[in-house]
Each structure stands twice: as C-alpha cells, then as structure tokens.
Structure 1
C-alpha cells in the first residue's frame, strides 16, 4: 500500500527499495567509502549493497 501512495511505477525499483539508501559518489576512495558506511550506515534501516552513483544520482556501480 505504501508503494502505491508514493507513486512509483509498477515493477520499478522504487516499489521494492527503501528510500533511505547509503549511496556513494564515484570519486570516493575505498577508505572514504568505508568511513561513510560507518557514519551513515548506523542511521540506515539496512545496508546490503553500496551503490555508486554519478553526479545525477544514476547508478554506475
């Protein structure tokens, strides 16, 4: 029901993911990303993957 209220299209990632994503800009080093996980991960619901995004927040890795 919540997914329908948020207006995500059927079969989109928005219907299955939490909006609280720990994402990283592609420019970060591994050490910087690990530091961010320690800080931001404590506030996230779950952290199963670490998406890397470009400046437009598009997934690149």
Structure 2
C-alpha cells in the first residue's frame, strides 16, 4: 500500500479501521499484508496518538 503524502502506513490502517469500519481481515486483503501486521500497525497508530494527546507536565506533582 502506498501512503498518501504526510501519512504513514499506521495512520492509513487506523483510518480504514476507525473511520471506514473495515475489518482487520478486509484491511489485510486490501493492503496485501497479514492480519497480524494490520493489528501491529493499529497498535502503533494508537500508541502514537496517545503520546500526542498526553500533555507534558513541566513539574512533578507531589
């Protein structure tokens, strides 16, 4: 699968799963990858999204 400009394979996979509601098996068929690879890409996309959404605290609370 060729990623669009500015997106990664992980972002493309998350879009197909979350927005288009495609199954992991269907995404695997469309992209020519194994279902395990699709699952790994979804996990990576979610970890990256969680990191972007977590605010950095300038100090530690006691």
TM-score by length of 1: 0.29
More strand per residue: 1
TM-score by length of 2: 0.28
Tell which structure's C-alpha radius of gyration is larger.
2
More helix per residue: 2
